[in-house]
Structure 1
Amino acid sequence: MAVLRSLVYAAIFYPMTLLWVIAGLIGAFFSRRFTLGVVLSWVEINHWLVTRILGIRIRVDGQVPTGAHLIAVKHQSMLETMEMVRITNLPVIVIKKELADLPLFGLMTRRYGVIPVERTAGAKALRALVAEGQQAVASGRDVIIYPEGSA
């Protein structure tokens, strides 16, 4: 049964994701608000697929704080990255600069609102991260960082 559920999920998720990426790329040229809407709807639909088709229960312990905060998350899979967008309502995400520099994908991520970090830049990168993080929090958006990230 688990294999069948996984196949059904994949058969819906990947084509849906392709359509949403196309919409996000088109929207990235015109409107940040549209890009944010595309991301949030993709995350909400994936949440429905994960909970209804895969049968995964998602639990948040404690209260999600109101207002803007810096949130450090243990990075284990794609699921928590998507769920954090849903739970915290469109946070600014700290990512490695290489991702923000990818053609098209980088355009969409920058339009969504990310903080790209040049990991080899040392203290300069840290100062830029703090400054951009403060701007994001001042605008009312949470900042999410995955300290374990990738090497």
Structure 2
Amino acid sequence: MLTRPRLHPGRTARGCRRCASSSCRTPSRPPTASRSATGSATLSPQTAAETLTTQVKARSGLSSMDATNVYEKVFAARAPVLRWPGDANDRTVSSMQNGLAKYAPGLNMTVRNTATHEAADEMTAQQALERLAALSLLAHWIDECEGPIPTED
């Protein structure tokens, strides 16, 4: 089945705002990462990373710590606040817990920090989508974790 090309996003009843033609059939651009008013693709990964960190802080009760330290504490090898479900002696469970202990703070440092502190370097839409995918994976894994686990003080 053939489909008609999509119209420019700015098409009105009087025609296309981009080319002013009433019969425009030029395909629109494929969807890309959200961009700020300046066209920067850095906003979405930064916002997603900060939102995820806020949610982890609220769930763990560690709201006074900075993001990287929160992730290190939450997934610590000894006395984690959030724990991958299953028997801690199982190799897969142990691998996931150890992997989260490295992946979460590493992702925060490489995605959130660079998006926040290096705004002058423009991120392409592809780079933004890749970072969003990595954050989405972390968010799904955090959702699967058990906890918060009470700490022994």
TM-score norm. by structure 1 comes to: 0.26
Q: Which of the pair is proportionally richer in helix?
A: 1
Bigger strand share: 1
Larger-gyration structure (1/2): 2
